[in-house]
């Protein structure tokens, strides 16, 4: 299984659930994960990825503590046992 943690307004799409597991056998990379989540939680994809499947500027995704922007971005490979954190940026003043 792949453990997924979400926070912020994304919890509104997951029924306030912050952590859940998805089968690693069904997921190859971050885009696959987001597509899978969108089947479970309709509308969440549009909050995470744009129309070109690129992570929105105000969303941060970490795989095993590593920011995907520092590696293969949305093509970052996922496997059983990985931990993914999807965190909307917080802004304010």
CATH number of the domain enclosing 70: 3.10.20.30
What pLDDT sits at residue 93? 53
Provide the β-strand partners of residue 60: 87
Residue 93 in any domain: the answer is no
3-state secondary structure of 22: strand
Residue 24 in any domain: the answer is yes
Residue 10 in any domain: the answer is yes
Domain range for 28:
2-88
Mean pLDDT, all residues of the chain: 93
Cα separation, 32 vs 28, whole angstroms: 6
Residue range 38-83, pLDDT digits in tens: 999 999 999 999 999 999 999 999 999 999 999 899 999 999 999 9
The stretches of the chain forming alpha helices (DSSP H) are 30-40, 44-48
Residue 32 in any domain: the answer is yes
**32-36: average pLDDT:** 96
> By percentage, how much of the chain surpasses pLDDT 90?
84
Local confidence band at 92 (pLDDT 50, 70, 90 cut-offs): low
- Residue 92 class from Cβ within 10 Å (0-12 exposed, 13-18 middle, 19+ buried)? exposed
Residue 51 in any domain: the answer is yes
């Amino acid at each position: 299984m792949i453990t997924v943690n979400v926070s912020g307004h994304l919890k509104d799409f997951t029924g306030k659930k912050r952590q859940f597991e998805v089968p690693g056998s069904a997921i190859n990379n971050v885009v696959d994960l987001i597509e899978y989540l969108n089947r479970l939680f309709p509308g969440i994809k549009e909050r995470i990825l744009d129309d070109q499947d690129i992570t929105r500027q105000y969303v941060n995704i970490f795989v095993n503590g590593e920011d995907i922007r520092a590696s293969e971005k949305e093509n970052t490979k996922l496997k059983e046992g990985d931990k993914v954190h999807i965190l909307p940026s917080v802004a304010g003043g």
